[in-house]
Amino acid sequence: MLTSGAIVNFFIVIAGSLLGLLFKKGIPEKIKTTLMNGMALCVLYIGITGILEDGADIIIIIISFAVGALIGELVDFDALVNRLGARLEKAMGKGKTAIAEGFVTATLLFCVGAMTVVGSIDSGISGDNSTLYSKSIIDGVAAVALTSSLGIGVMLSALSVLFIEGGLTLLAVFVAPMLTADAITQMSVIGSLLIISLSLNMLKLTKIKVMNYIPAIFLPLILCIFM
């Protein structure tokens, strides 16, 4: 089954989140903060290693960020996600539970990396889910740590994983001609830069609206054809 990698990833994120919720109840706030900072440093490391790809084209990356930011601000994905989180918090009858923060943080971490793109493409074109299976294990461990700090919003990101990875898997056959090695490299670097931005937000050093840069990830598919 072509989407089995996305489905496995979906259930492992949920399982990791459930474990995180169990741990969350018995962890003092001070330790949660320390865990969160440690997780942020790990996310920073993931982002830094991702930008060290050979073949990164700075012109394509700059144009992608400029146009992507314009699209993102016009649509305002960040506001949409935060409104969704606020509605969920209200529906659950809770106060400030950081559902939106957990959802956004986990969605970006689980869905923006090179393994998501490459794994989904392999799954869609050749039926090889090995990359997505490996990614699932990493995401499961990360979900435990993130949920223990950010709460149930992290579990909701499993839906993002299913939608994005499943969607890329199903679309891979149709967009395969555009998925050159060069395009994948640029997408990976842009995704890694967003992961670095995410880590800085987690460390409370910045307040970057990372969700509004999401369109930039997909623009190299078009730009690499003409450039």
pLDDT, tens digit (0-9, with 9 covering 90-100), for 191-227: 889 888 888 988 889 888 888 998 998 899 889 888 7
Cα 66 off chain centre by: 20
Q: Provide the pLDDT for residue 54.
A: 77
For residue 91, the tally of other CB atoms under 10 A from its CB is 9
Query: Does 94 score more than 70 pLDDT?
Result: no
Flag whether the pTM goes above 0.85.
no
DSSP the chain: -TTHHHHHHHHHHHHHHHHHHHHHHTS-HHHHHHHHHHHHHHHHHHHHHHTT-TT--HHHHHHHHHHHHHHHHHHTHHHHHHHHHHHHHHHTT-SS--HHHHHHHHHHHHHSSHHHHHHHHHHHHH---HHHHHHHHHHHHHHHHHHHHHTTHHHHHHHHHHHHHHHHHHHHHHHGGG--HHHHHHHHHHHHHHHHHHHHHHTTS----GGGGTHHHHTHHHHHHH-
User: What is the average per-residue pLDDT within 176-184?
Assistant: 78
Q: Provide the pLDDT for residue 62.
A: 94
Structural tokens at position 209: 């609206």
